[in-house]
Amino acid sequence: MSGITYADLIEQAGDQIRDGALAVRRRRFDDRVEARATLADFHGVLDALEAHVWALIEPMRIAGITASGNPDPAEAGAIAMVKDLREVTGSARPHPSVLDRRRDTPWSGAALRLRAAADLLAVHQSPKGIPRSPDAAVLGDTARRAVALTTLAGHLDVLLTGEQTLALRCLHAGLHRAEVTRNLPGLHEARAIAHHVAALAPSSTTGGLGELRLIGEQPRTGDPVLEVADRLHRLRQSAWALSQDPDYSVATLRDLASTGVMVHAHTAAAHGADLTRPGPVLDEVTGPLLTRAAAWKALHQDLAHYRSPGPRDPLVHADALAVREALTRLAPLDATPPTDPRTLALLTTATSLTADIGATCARAFDRLARSGHVHIHAAQLTGTLIGEDESLAHAKLTHARIPAPASRAALTLERYAAVTEPVVHHPTPVTPAPGATRTTQDVHVLTRTAPAP
């Protein structure tokens, strides 16, 4: 798994566009071959920017945007700034620059990254707009798309700033004026519009799209911190997939719940809570983390009462075990301070991810319970849950296994609700002061001991 995000690709493309422009200003071309190759690279970036704008706006929406009496300024401006680019770059598709991978220049690299970023967006939803990931919703946010468009406008502005210099370099290299004029007609209007759209950008240059990353990649197993981050990202994707298409396996939901226990327990240990001793000293940082870990543990134990026909997902199970093993090394439960400075940042992000996983799993469980495929031993039902239902009372007396009643599933959903809010804690380690602040009796969140009723 590369771990690369949409923001990484867009920022790298911007850096390479600037590098290419500087290279043209600093030195002349050696010959006409180099000049023509640089023109091809220039056209490749223009084509990639145009394609990326359409990936964000979607051509089917153009008529609605242009006909609107109050269109989004960034969207309307982006359409205007790229409308004439194809007359320069040509209508051949795929663009010739896509097929020529022999070039290794800043502008060829920028075009490659711009296209990769557009492809990354396409990974998260189908051409018909059907979500493929939990992050697909951000693609439908006009404000977030507008921020990304202003970034692309800034890149086009920088690229076109050097168009006149590029033309002079090509003339100096011996290209005929007609060839130069045909390839560099002077895109002054496009540059002016791009400059205006770029000025609309807020302080965040990539908005809500910046954190989008690829799905389905293999984890980077050579680095424990990166491995945990990648596997948690994949577990979040797997949990979302369950909510869309249940695998009828409560065991998979238990694996995901065990990850919530581990993440919060090891985060508390990284902040100074020694979980290998009874009644460890807790503070405002470790206390909420241990409370949340206990809530995940209670959910994990609750799910063990259910039975369902589907087998557990082997990928989810393997990821959960790998996360537990890696966290044991990165943040031991005996409160040994983490040796890797990235560990605390990883764990802070992980707690938020598990909250997201919990919310998604709650929807998956609710859908699964409503399907009637989840069963439970009636002997485990309390009198409150049985109420006046004679069939449930009879099932309990005969020790029968029955479809989980809605009242019993509701209790599990309540446990899910207890783990869905992110835990806010201090981003740096906190050393408990002598004398203790408070203690807890139920801190052995990793044991099999059931909580007191």
In order, the DSSP letters of 271-324 are TT--TTSSS--B-TTHHHHHHHHHHHHHHHHHHTTEE-SSPPPHHHHHHHHHHH
Look at residue 451 and tell me whether its pLDDT is greater than 50. no
Question: What would the pLDDT profile of 291-308 be if each residue is shown by its tens digit?
Answer: 999 999 999 999 999 988
Question: What would the pLDDT profile of 68-114 be if each residue is shown by its tens digit?
Answer: 767 888 988 999 999 989 999 988 878 888 877 677 899 999 999 99
Q: Give mean pLDDT, residues 437-447.
A: 40
Count of CB atoms situated within 10 Å of the CB of 316: 25
Helix (H) or strand (E) holding 401: strand 401-403
Instruction: Tell me how far CA of residue 324 lies from CA of 83, 317, 321, 357, 427, in angstroms.
Output: 52, 11, 5, 16, 21
Looking at the DSSP bridge assignments, the partners of residue 213 are 5
Q: Cα separation of 134 and 160, whole Å? A: 37
Question: What would the pLDDT profile of 348-383 be if each residue is shown by its tens digit?
Answer: 999 999 999 999 999 999 999 988 888 887 666 665
What residues have CB less than 8 Å from 28, skipping those under 6 apart? Answer: 169, 172, 173
Which has more pLDDT, 205 or 54? 54
What residues have CB less than 8 Å from 35, skipping those under 6 apart? Answer: 29, 169, 170, 173, 174, 175
Question: CB of 202 within 8 A of CB of 188?
Answer: no
Q: Cα separation of 444 and 59, whole Å? A: 56
Look at residue 247 and tell me whether its pLDDT is greater than 90. no
| Band of residue 432 on the pLDDT scale cut at 50, 70, 90 | very low
Does the pTM exceed 0.85? no
| Band of residue 136 on the pLDDT scale cut at 50, 70, 90 | confident
Look at residue 60 and tell me whether its pLDDT is greater than 70. no
Question: CB of 415 within 8 A of CB of 257?
Answer: no
Question: What would the pLDDT profile of 160-198 be if each residue is shown by its tens digit?
Answer: 999 999 999 999 999 999 999 999 999 999 999 999 999
What residues have CB less than 8 Å from 133, skipping those under 6 apart? Answer: 123, 124, 125, 215, 237, 240
Q: Give mean pLDDT, residues 246-264.
A: 94
Q: What are phi and psi of 448, to 5 degrees?
A: -90, 0
